[in-house]
A and B are shown apart, each in its own frame.
Chain A
């Protein structure tokens, strides 16, 4: 049982480049979310989805896009990477207002 799978685990981008962080879950959860983790700030919500075809903004959405074409997948797109987006990104899924399961994270550096 894989749970939540994120790829890649590490990525270095140049300022202005775009890329997509992949997230897939095999638990048939309705809800999926993307967080970024910066030192001393906990995890901050970027975007979330309550089901296929439905997404909404979280606390820090600027510079990121998401889509949810299937229940299983919830990719996060960086449109034009900036050094301020250097962070560790976590994808999570949950069946509702219950436990959230997290992927192992993507460590992104923008130079």
Chain B
């Protein structure tokens, strides 16, 4: 089945630093989504990408839908302590079923 490889698995950074994480797949995805999960909560959408090559920003967050439709990245600029959490990439494949395939997650810790 379709799989997403997300890296890095974890990051421990200083407040103010920029962060970059990415996801790759061996197959094409029609939608790329980036979620953040905080302890005890469900994932919450950060950015949705629907078109190959699309570059979208949401405040300090920027994400891109790779032109090959097999990858995506998320950048966080000037990190702050509340950025702590687990970040997931997720994608919809070719079938119109609403199924999401998730990456393994990137755990981000920010040192004040």
| Chain A interface residues toward B at CB < 8 A | 4, 29-33, 35, 40-45, 48, 50, 56, 58-59, 90, 92, 94-105
CA distance A104 to B1 in the complex (A): 27
Contact indicator B43/A102 (Cβ below 8 Å): yes
| Chain B interface residues toward A at CB < 8 A | 1, 4, 6, 9, 30-31, 33, 40-45, 48, 50, 88, 90, 92, 96-105
Which listed residue (B44, B88, B98, B104) contacts A94, Cβ 8 A? B98
Task: Report the minimum CB–CB distance from A40 to chain B (whole Å).
Answer: 6
Contact indicator A105/B98 (Cβ below 8 Å): no
Query: Counting chain B CB atoms within 10 Å of each CB, which of A30, A44, A98 scores highest?
Result: A98
For residue A103, which residues in chain B have a CB less than 8 angstroms away from its CB?
42
Task: Report the minimum CB–CB distance from B27 to chain A (whole Å).
Answer: 15
Which listed residue (B42, B97, B105) contacts A104, Cβ 8 A? B42
The 7 closest A-B pairs by CB, nearest first: A31-B98, A102-B42, A97-B92, A42-B102, A43-B102, A94-B98, A42-B104
Task: Report the minimum CB–CB distance from A66 to chain B (whole Å).
Answer: 14
Contact indicator A31/B97 (Cβ below 8 Å): yes
For residue A59, which residues in chain B have a CB less than 8 angstroms away from its CB?
1
